[in-house]
Structure 1
């Protein structure tokens, strides 16, 4: 009964997809012949997508043959086709194999966005998503980026029943083809068929019109993703390299805490009690496994997985997680611990108002004076969040002192989103022009770079949203004169563009389906240039940025139309 239902769904879904593309598809000329070329990808959360290809002079025949192949595939392998994606070829370029190799070598790793066919009949052909999802292109022993014979042949064992063997030497003096496609995706549980982008940077991303609804969807799904990563003992599954479902073995307690902070940001919007329960487990794990006291009222977070380091940023993110939890839930369970950690931060401060970045446990001696500039922004932001709860003047005075140092040393040049967060918080209590000016500088000189950046870089949305929020605060206080040299319209344009572009780093099912075990990484955010890595801190930065975007930019509006990505 289930098998027959699957077969019926194949027929119905293919009919719907065919109707969708029929008005737009055009035949492609290859070697003096004009043909239609289509790929059909079939998958679900528990398998890597199976990809079928059909090429024929008749459009109807293409779909008839795809249906036959799909039904045979589902019957033979007992597949449950939850996801179906159709790609039709829109452009084909013939080129010598050596030129293909050069093109691949000159492309950023994991950013090759063409399909490749090694023959004119597309008997050996891969979609762009197959190439990247199976690491068919990677760094070779000669340190160049190129086609990886072993990975190609490993994938062919699954993809091709006739076990074609791939050897680059076979194509040295031959022509091959690169191609582009237009795509549509259908999920079994939805009536709607998603149209996907086909740009050089946005290829495979579903289009959206209602940005408010889409951002709410991203927040809900990614918050739930992080929640699923928290084990019963409170420790996260740290992350995966997606192509082969490989777990990331190391652990970082700083990122553990900052991910809990982001989860509580997500909880404020989705109100799923499972999130709070997971955060509580995570905080208890942090306290039990990583927090030590130097004296009765002064505590530090120890990174046992990294030889007992005490990082300034770890104390800070622990405070941020605890204060966010207490603010949202209304209890003060962790207040004394947070205060002890704050005293640890102050103990790492030097007479000139700079900070020691790393101590060594158990002796508490200095290990590194400077490591990551972000630690300092995290530290003062944490003190401000604690001050918001307990109103201990010491925390605020220490922040003012540190901020004066940051202004004197031109820390705005680091474009640190944590410093922007801190500046925003500080002007609530001390609305001095110097703090506003610092916050604007921290963002403004970076806007052109942020607007055009080809990687998703999620902290950019956090940085620009902090500036956006600060501008509204300026206007409330009648400080518009500080905006004389600031392009507010371009800031808003950049924010909306980054919010839309960041979606190319989200594992929607139509992207996740090409990885080894989609269920592991579905609804997570990834870093493409790090082998589609999904790590808890990657997810938390995307999530935090989208939460700020939702609260400050679109949450109170009916809709903001998504900008059309021309990349």
Structure 2
């Protein structure tokens, strides 16, 4: 059965109005008027049906009540026209504004790490054409590409979104043209929950919920939510949707087998807490894919049987075998299964093959299948992942070989040698 857009617009008008009322009761006491150079009250309303990226509208007025009513009306009309129910609503209010030129802004961006610019921009002093920090970063408007380490004005992406958001045909980026940099604070509410969450306004936590004291219930909710998301990314064959470029909602085309294994380990840690059946089903599928498609057997020069996690570039990473141990040991402990004991020994044997018998140092990356050393050192995490995995395996089996390898492997840390180049 299908429904018309009008049927979906506001099936629960009381709930829709209550969502705005709950937010207003928290937001209004927080907002102070701006200085005379700017509109006294500038509010941004970001709304979503919970399935797609939020739309944003701006409301300015001489009083808070007028700005709030104007913003509420805009959201109501837009949601009704689109046939969508507002499930999530965020309101940001401007707390300070600084006028400058594009030339001065570019200078500031050169001192700002890419994706770390935490202010909004308005092209005019009346905030007719303004963009929140989330809009700027969410549309790659200050992103110059992976080779550019600092923020930079991306004129193509900027004009693309300016046309969508404000129907602007072009933007004047000339050096002496004025632009206004502003800071905000915000609050978020959901139709499904009664709480209103105040958000950090500035700094590295900008946009995150303000949580004064993390309670056990908060942690459990985060574990459940995060693991449900991971479970939802597991495809029927056991392979993950590896990731998404958030700016333009494009799937990431690469695949990292180490991250496949470490995600399973995280899901198992979560399942120990939640015992969620859908999560367990996703774990089983992802584990089957790991064991049967990503872990490869090898015969060592000594004749011993080993196993290695192999990336699609034909790389064997020390950390990859380490996180495979973590995932398979955790699975064995939680389920009581001995199905993977042989494979666990082969993975650990592979790690010992990557360790220098005299110094204890590990080679970080091998070529597969000839197992020649590709890179003696890549990242210090690999040593930790290998040691952690071997210790967990020792805890499962009691085999002294694995603990001895860890003890030998940590000696270079005490000498400071492994840290060189980290």
Q: TM-score, normalised to structure 2's length?
A: 0.89
Higher mean displacement: 296-305 or 233-242: 296-305
Question: 1:134–1:151: 8 Å Cα contact kept in structure 2?
Answer: yes
1:340 aligns with 2:346: yes
Q: Give me the whole-angstrom Cα distance separating, in 1, the residues matched to 2:85 and 2:159.
A: 25
| Contact 2:10 2:16 (C-alpha < 8 Å) held by counterparts | no
**Shift in Å, 1:304:** 4.6
| Cα distance between partner residues in 1 of 2:143 and 2:286 | 36
- Give the unaligned 5+ runs of structure 2: 1-6
Compute the displacement of 1:140 (Å): 7.1
User: Aligned equivalents of 1:67 and 1:400: distance in 2?
Assistant: 63
Is residue 2:362 matched to residue 1:358?
no
Q: Is the 8 A contact 2:234 2:286 kept in 1?
A: yes
Aligned CA distance change for structure 1 residues 319 and 128 (closer, same or farther; 3 Å):
same
Contact 1:302 1:361 in 2 (8 A): no
Structure 2 residue aligned with 1:157: 163
Any idea what the Cα deviations from partners look like across 1:500-545, whole Å, max 9, x if unmatched? xxxxxxxxxxxxxxxxxxxxxxxxxxxxxxxxxxxxxxxxxxxxxx
Equivalent residues in 2 for 1:22-421, closer than 5 Å: 22-31=28-37, 35-139=40-144, 145-160=151-166, 163-169=167-173, 172-212=175-215, 213-295=217-299, 298-306=305-313, 308-352=314-358, 353-409=360-416, 411=418, 413=419
Which residue is 2:4 aligned to?
none
User: Any residues of structure 2 matched to 1:415-494 within 5 Å, and which?
Assistant: none
**Structure 1 residues 315 and 17: CA distance shift in structure 2, 3 A:** closer
TM-score scaled by length of structure 1: 0.67
- 1:538 aligns with none
Query: For 2:67, what is the secondary structure of its paired residue?
Result: helix
- Contact kept in structure 1, 2:262 and 2:323, CA below 8 Å: yes
Q: In structure 2, how many angstroms separate the alpha carbons of the residues matched to 1:141 and 1:361?
A: 29
Once residues 350 and 324 of structure 1 are traced to their aligned partners in structure 2, the CA distance between those partners, rounded to angstroms, is 27
Match of residue 522 from structure 1: none
Deviations 1:379-422 (A, max 9, x none): 232222112122222222333333345434554x5799xxxxxx
2:3 corresponds to: none
Superposition deviation, residue 158 in structure 1: 2.9
Residue 5, structure 1, aligned to residue 11, structure 2: yes
Q: What's the offset of the Cα at 1:350? A: 2.3
Deviations 1:6-33 (CA, angstroms, capped at 9, x unpaired)? 65544333333233223332221243x6
For the residues of structure 2 that align with 1:335 and 1:207, how far apart are their CA atoms? 45
Structure 1 residue 109: Cα displacement: 0.8
Change (3 A) 1:334 1:122: same
SS of residue matched to 1:244: coil
Asked whether the equivalents of residues 307 and 343 of structure 2 are also in contact (C-alpha less than 8 Å), the reply is: no
Shift, 1:187, TM fit: 0.4
1:252 positional shift:
1.7
SS of the residue aligned with 1:139?
coil
1:34 to 1:123, Cα distance in 2 relative to 1, 3 A: closer
Mapped partners of 1:402, 1:37: distance in 2: 58
Relative to 1, partners in 2 of residues 1:78 and 1:359: Cα closer, same or farther, differing over 3 Å? Answer: same
Q: Secondary structure at the match of 1:178?
A: strand
Q: 1:108 & 1:80 partners in 2: Cα distance?
A: 37
Q: Which runs of 5+ in 1 are unaligned?
A: 417-567
| Residues 40 and 87, structure 1, Cα contact 8 Å, conserved in 2 | yes
Residue 14 (1) aligns with residue 17 (2): no
In structure 2, the CA distance between the partners of 1:116 and 1:299, relative to structure 1 (3 Å rule), is same
Secondary structure of 2:247's aligned partner: helix
| Alpha-carbon distance in 1 for matches of 2:305, 2:153 | 54
Distance 1:267-1:415 versus aligned 2 partners, 3 A rule: farther
> Once superposed, what is the RMSD of the aligned Cα atoms?
2.6
Corresponding position of 1:521: none
Q: 1:126 to 1:303 in 2, by over 3 A?
A: same
Displacement, 1:107?
A: 1.3
CA distance in 2, matches of 1:63, 1:381: 54
Q: CA deviation at 1:134?
A: 1.3
Aligned pair count reads 410
Q: Any conservation in 1 of the 2:16–2:191 contact (CA below 8 Å)? A: no
Call closer, same or farther: CA 1:244–1:141 in 2, change over 3 Å: closer
Structure 1 77/157 Cα, relative in aligned 2: closer, same or farther at 3 Å? farther
Q: Which moved more, 1:7-16 or 1:346-355?
A: 7-16
